[in-house]
Amino acid sequence: TLAGSVLTTVTPVPRTTRLLKEAVESQTGRQAATQKIVMCGCLRVLDDDEVLPQMPLEVLCLKDETPLWSWDLDGNPGKSQLQVDGPRVTCPNLRTDYINVITKAPMVSGRHYYEFVMHHIGDEQWCGVLADPEQAGPGCSGRSLRAWTYYCGRMRHGGGSLRDGKGALHAQGKAVIEFEKLSPHG
């Protein structure tokens, strides 16, 4: 409810806010990345590295799902090739064939709706949900991703196979079923 209830009790008091978030995640399953910790009485969100008073304290734990839809530019090994402006990702400095971009926190439960708007597709594009955050960056081809993705097909030539050329649903590195092929400009 909006008034809230006791989520969990953590004892002893962890040294920092980050450690408190990790303890809350361990006890409740609520991702540390989606928690905002507010000290009761001061209404200020505590920084992750903030040292907590080592005495009994009461805090509010707010759920903030912003990391589920915010792109992780800083954690991407290919960040020098990317620009992120809110929900929009562009690759003006693309020096590799591809670059995988993930959000700051994974979806771990529930139902979520994503809409991918592609303004320009050079040759190929994959959009979807990645299972392994280690595959972020330019090191893993869309065809071998541990992911569930829509593959737009090749823009520069027609035909091809379900795996390489046609628009298709790809799941865990395999082309599953043909989907509509997009045009290169949207």
Phi, psi values for residue 106, rounded to 5°: -80, 155
More confident residue, 13 or 130: 13
pLDDT at 2: 60
What mean pLDDT is reported for the chain?
Answer: 90
The CA-based angle 46-87-92, given to 5 degrees, is 120
Interval 113-166: pLDDT, tens = 888 888 888 888 888 888 889 999 999 988 899 999 999 888 877 778 888 888
pLDDT of amino acid 3: 67
Strand segments, DSSP code E, in 64-163 are 83-85, 88-90, 126-130, 147-151
d(CA 23, CA 11): 9
Per-residue pLDDT tens for 62-94?
999 999 889 999 999 999 999 999 988 998 888
Radius of gyration of the CA atoms of the chain, in A: 21
Give strand pairing partners of 150. Answer: 127, 169
What pLDDT sits at residue 116?
85
